[in-house]
Amino acid sequence: MTEPLEQEILRAAALLRAGELVAFPTETVYGLGADARNPQAVAKIFAVKGRPADHPLIVHLRGAEQLAYWARDIPAEASLLAEKFWPGPLTLILKRTASVPDIVTGGQDTVGLRVPNHPVALALLAAFGDGIAAPSANKFGRISPTTAQHVREDLGDAVPLVLDGGPCAVGIESTILDLTTRRAVILRPGMITAFELGRVLGRNPLFADDPLAPEEVRRRRASGRLVAHYAPRTPLVLTPDDSLPIVLRNALARQERVAVLARHPAPADWPHIVWRVAPDDPAGFAHELYAHLRALDALGCRRIYVQKPIGPAWRAVLDRLERAAAGSGEQTP
C-alpha cells in the first residue's frame, strides 16, 4: 500500500469517527460507509443515496471476533461459514443485539454482517476499529459502482472522501445468507454459490423464492429487495442466444441505434451496432458487468441487448441482469 493511501485511510477513519461518510472499495463493489453505531451518521447514508429508510444496511466488520457485539444466538453454522469464507463476499443475516441502532436494520430484529476481502477496506476497518455500515455507493436503484470514478460520477461532492482501491475484483454484490431460521436461505445470490455454502452447511441452502423457504424469510426479503434494481437508464433486454440475430435485424430495420453486451465477438455483417464483449465465464463476466452497463448506458442508445446466460453457475449474474431488465421497463422477448 502506498504512503499517500495509508494517510488517506487514517483520514477516512477520522472522518468516520467524526460522523462523516466515506466511500471505500471492497472486493464486490464500492461501499458508502458510516460509523454503524452512530445513528446520525447512518442517516446521512440514506440522505445521500436517496434510499428508503426501511431498507436495512450491511455492517462491515474487521473480523469474525466482532460478531458477538452485533449478533446474538449465533448458530454454529455462522462460525463455520465465517471461518471458510471471511474475509469474502458473503453477508450473514443473524439476530441482532440491542447494540445495533434501529436505523441500520430498518427496525428489523436481524442484522446483516460481513468481513470484506479488500486490503483497503480491511485497513480502514482496522484503523477505525468498529463496525462500518455501508450499502453500495450509488444512488438508490442505480448500478453499483466498481471503481472510485463510478462513485464520484454518482455521488460527487456529497461524499467528503472516496478511497481509491482500483476496480473491484468480484464486481457484483455479496451473497446474502439468512441464518435466522431453521433452514438457511439465500436472500441474494452472489459469487459464493449455494453449492459452496451447502458443502459447509451439510445441505444446500434454499433460495428465497423457493416455496419451501420459511414464510417469515420470504416476507423479510420482500422488504429488502425490489425487483427493479441495478438498472441502467437505457432499456435493457435480456436476449436468448438463438433470438439475438433476429432481434438485432429487426432493430436495424427500424433504424434504431442499439447496443449489445455479448460473450462472443460481433458477426462481421453488423457494423452499425455498438458491440461489447465480456468474458464467457461467470466470474469474468461479473467482474466486468457493471462497468460495461455504465459505459453502454452513457451512449444514449435506444436499447441494450444482453446475451442471456444459462446454467446454475450464472445464477448471480442472471439475477442482476433480470433486475436491470425489470428496472428498465421492457419485456424480455
State the binding partner of 58 from Mg ion, ligand TXA, none, CB within 5 to 8 A by kind: ligand TXA
Size of the site for ligand TXA (CB under 6 A): 27
**From 62-70, 102-110, 250-258, 312-320, span contacting ligand TXA (CB under 6 A):** 102-110
**From 45-53, 134-142, 274-282, 313-321, span contacting Mg ion (CB under 5 A):** 134-142
198-230: b (≥16 Cβ within 10 Å) or e: eeebeebbbbbeeeebbeebeebbeebeeeebb
Residue nearer to ligand TXA on the CB measure, 187 or 258: 187
Contacts with 27 (C-beta within 8 Å, 6 or more apart), sequence order: 87, 88, 89, 116, 117, 118, 121, 168, 169, 170
Q: Which of 87, 112, 205, 309 binds ligand TXA (CB under 6 A)?
A: 112
Q: Which residue has the cell 428498465?
A: 328
Does residue 111 belong to the site contacting ligand TXA (CB under 6 A)? yes
Of 157-186, binders to ligand TXA (CB under 6 A) are 173-174, 176
Does residue 101 belong to the site contacting ligand TXA (CB under 6 A)? no
CB of 111 to ligand TXA, least distance (A): 5
Does residue 26 belong to the site contacting ligand TXA (CB under 6 A)? yes
Q: Which of 15, 21, 23, 91 binds ligand TXA (CB under 6 A)?
A: 91
CB of 153 to ligand TXA, least distance (A): 17
Q: Which of 13, 123, 134, 151 binds ligand TXA (CB under 6 A)?
A: 134
Reduce the secondary structure of the chain to three states and give it as a string. Answer: CCHHHHHHHHHHHHHHHCCCCEEECCCCCCEEEEECCCHHHHHHHHHHHCCCCCCCCEEECCCHHHHHHHEECCCHHHHHHHHHHCCCCEEEEEEECCCCCHHHHCCCCEEEEECCCCHHHHHHHHHHCCCEECCECCCCCCCCCCCHHHHHHHHHHHCCCECCCCCCCCCCCCEEEECCCCCCEEEECCCCCHHHHHHHHCCCCEECCCCCCCHHHHHHHHHHCCCCCCCCCCCEEEECHHHHHHHHHHHHHCCCCEEEEECCCCCCCCCCCEEEECCCCHHHHHHHHHHHHHHHHCCCCCEEEEECCCCHHHHHHHHHHHHHHHHCCCCCC
The residue whose Cβ lies closest to ligand TXA is: 224
Does residue 225 belong to the site contacting ligand TXA (CB under 6 A)? yes
Of 264-303, binders to Mg ion (CB under 5 A) are none
Residue nearer to Mg ion on the CB measure, 66 or 136: 136
Residue nearer to ligand TXA on the CB measure, 100 or 237: 100
Residue nearer to Mg ion on the CB measure, 117 or 136: 136
Residue nearer to Mg ion on the CB measure, 9 or 132: 132
CB of 28 to ligand TXA, least distance (A): 3
Does residue 328 belong to the site contacting ligand TXA (CB under 6 A)? no
Does residue 136 belong to the site contacting Mg ion (CB under 5 A)? yes
Interface with ligand TXA (CB under 6 A): 26, 28-29, 31, 55-58, 89, 91, 93, 105, 108, 110-112, 116, 134-136, 173-174, 176, 187, 220, 224-225
